[in-house]
Amino acid sequence: MRFFLAEGDGPQGILPLPPLHSDSLAPALDNVRMFGEDTSYPKDAISRALRIENPKFHTVDSVDCVSCHIATTVRVPIEAQLFGDKGVESNDRYQNSRHNLARDLNFRTGPLFVHNFGFINNEAIVSQRTINEAAEVADFINSMR
């Protein structure tokens, strides 16, 4: 992250570092709301989100914080609208046959739900990235036996 301070009473805050990879969600999301017949922008957003959720593609050092935290909440409604419950077939989607990677279908989506893991009231929120990372950690621990 980069911190910025303005002189005097100007703005200050935190900015993500420029991503090392082209999978930032910002460019893809700029046009998502404007798709009609052309679904290339939403498909691009889904592909980027799937790669961000996939620990074999990205680490915390290769994608900006916001894109990682919103990947699931952005992908799920767009993918459901375009492809229904089955989702899109993609080589970008994380695969691991040794673990159940299913996400709770009640997972909340929307711009306010940016938890990769946390609680809202008594409801656990777990993103697909967290599920996928947990599978990788379990594989690593199991390999040490």
14-47 pLDDT tens trace? 555 555 456 776 655 555 544 455 556 677 888 8
Residues 6+ apart with CB under 8 A from 87: 79, 80, 93
Full residue range of the structural domain in which residue 120 is found: 20-143
Q: What is the pLDDT of residue 26?
A: 63
On whether residue 40 sits in a domain, the answer given is yes
Number of domains within the chain: 1
On whether residue 5 sits in a domain, the answer given is no
Query: Residue 93 above 90 pLDDT?
Result: yes
On whether residue 102 sits in a domain, the answer given is yes
On whether residue 7 sits in a domain, the answer given is no
The answer to whether 16 and 69 have CB atoms below 8 angstroms apart is no
Query: Residue 54 above 90 pLDDT?
Result: yes
Query: Residue 55 above 90 pLDDT?
Result: yes
| Mean predicted confidence (pLDDT) in 107-133 | 78
Report the alpha-carbon distance of residue 145 to residue 142 in Å, rounded. 6
Q: What is the pTM of this model?
A: 0.74
pLDDT tier at 6 (50, 70, 90 boundaries)? low
